Amino acid sequence: MRIRIGLMVLPSLLGLAGGVPLVAEAEAPNQPPVAAPAWPPTFSRNVQGSGLPGIDGGHAFLWNRPPGFDPVSTLRVDRHIPEGSGEPGHTYKALWALGTSGPNNAGYEWTITGELHNRTLASTGAQNVAVNGTVFKEPNGIGPVGPSWAGNFNCVDTTGEADPVASCIGAEIDVSAQSPTTDRNRQRVGLQISTGGVPGAHTGYGILMGNLPGSVTDRGVSFQGEGAYGIGIDAAAARFTGVPLLLASGQMIGLDGTKDGAFSRKLGFDGRTLVYGGTDPVFRVGDTGQVEAASFREVQPRPPVSSHDACLPGDHAWDTAYEYRCIAPNHWKRAMLSDW
């Protein structure tokens, strides 16, 4: 006798008084298969607007594998909040997974896990996704539609530890933890943000980081670890209608930073001039072209052979006997140097 379990509904999960019995379908000569149980009265057989079999509310454990594979979603929960029935300030959850762990827990806990063993042939139309969240922002006919997040991950630290020793990570993407180290396929992307699907699609911000008043982010984007990076930020393949890097007046770029965030040299704009320096500026360039430098050294003298060598007004040269200055196109003058 071969036993095939088609659908198992756990009584403890359903919360039904008597539960739903487990049905074993026996395939034997001259024995018809046992009829499937009636659909539980707490389930809705139709998913709103699709006509596909689904459930609305309740809990179920589904087993779906060949033979008899069902291409429809294994589990779909469809909720519709009628107009005016929502309570202000309340969050309505289509699917809620709650888990807790103790201080001596030796394992790892995931409240929701999506794992896909992808063996399909590569094609431009394949969308093989372990976890996918899509929000359709649609007009309501009344006013501006509220903000939407396709994925929202919060890590709230309520431990009160002054200097936590463990990270509080909202989202972590580890692409190649189990991939061969010799694979240099550049399409292994840690985070990809693409504006596409519709010609002319527009995104306001590729990556937006914002702090509420009083909050501080130590690093906007940080590269960590002892490994080598090819290029920190690569904008060569992009076309910018503005500037690739935009700084406000008074902001600087640190040039000799350490992994702890310390640095001693910086380059930036102080509101009046382009400035380079450490604690004190040693080089300035004004908008009119005026240059201020703590010191100046010409390492290549390049003195002219004659007073009519090619030059442009303002060119300067020197040797051990003279200083040379170009006063007009192709016209040099010189002054003798002497000891004192």
154 Cβ contact partners less than 8 Å away, ≥ 6 residues apart = 170
Q: Which residues, 6 or more positions from 279, have their beta carbon under 8 angstroms from its beta carbon? A: 264
CB 310 within 8 A of CB 330: yes
Residues 285 and 313 in one domain: no
Residue 21 covered by a domain: yes
43 in Cβ contact with 57 (< 8 Å): yes
> How far apart are alpha carbons 296 and 282 in whole angstroms?
11
Does 304 reside within a domain?
A: yes
Q: What domain count does the chain have? A: 3
* 284 phi, psi to nearest 5 deg: -135, 145
Show which of 57, 78, 99 is a domain's final residue: 78
Instruction: State the pLDDT at residue 36.
Output: 54
In a domain, 142, yes or no: no
What pLDDT does residue 265 have?
96
**Of residues 131, 165, 168, 133, the one with CA closest to residue 148:** 133
pLDDT by residue for the chain (340 residues), tens only, comes to 333 333 333 333 333 333 333 333 444 456 666 665 565 555 545 444 444 444 444 445 556 666 666 666 667 677 777 777 777 777 778 788 888 888 888 778 888 888 888 888 877 676 788 988 889 999 989 999 989 999 999 898 888 888 878 888 888 888 766 666 666 665 677 888 888 777 888 888 889 999 999 999 989 999 888 888 889 999 998 889 999 999 999 999 999 999 889 999 999 999 999 999 999 999 999 999 999 999 989 999 999 999 999 999 999 999 999 999 999 999 999 999 999 9
Is the same domain home to 72 and 39?
Answer: yes
**pLDDT score for 7:** 38
* Separation between Cα atoms, residue 107 and residue 190, nearest integer Å: 26
Q: Which run of H or of E encompasses 340?
A: none
pLDDT, residue 308, reads 96
303 and 287, same structural domain? no
Q: Evaluate whether 337 touches 321 at the Cβ level (below 8 Å).
A: yes
C-alpha distances in Å from residue 110, one per residue of 12, 134, 156, 172? 21, 21, 16, 13
**pLDDT of 99:** 85
DSSP 252: E
pLDDT at 47: 46
Per the domain annotation, does 248 fall within a domain?
yes
Residues 6+ positions from 84 with CB-CB distance below 8 Å: none
Q: Which of 35, 61, 78 represents a domain boundary (last residue)?
A: 78
Within 72-207, where are the H helices? none
Residues 8 and 74 in one domain: yes
In a domain, 37, yes or no: yes
Say if 23 falls within a structural domain: yes
Whether 307 and 330 map to the same domain: the answer is: yes
Structural domain boundaries enclosing 263 = 244-296
Residues 281 and 322 in one domain: no
Helix (H) or strand (E) holding 176, with range, is none
Torsion of CA 181, 183, 186, 190, to 10 degrees: -40
Q: Considering the domain boundaries, does residue 280 fall inside one? A: yes
- Confidence at residue 276, expressed as pLDDT on a 0 to 100 scale: 96
Q: Is residue 230 part of a domain?
A: no
Burial tier of 194 (Cβ tally within 10 Å: 0-12, 13-18, 19+): exposed
End residue of a domain, out of 78, 110, 126? 78
Distance CA 249, CA 280 (A): 18
Distance between CA atoms of 305 and 309, rounded to whole angstroms?
7
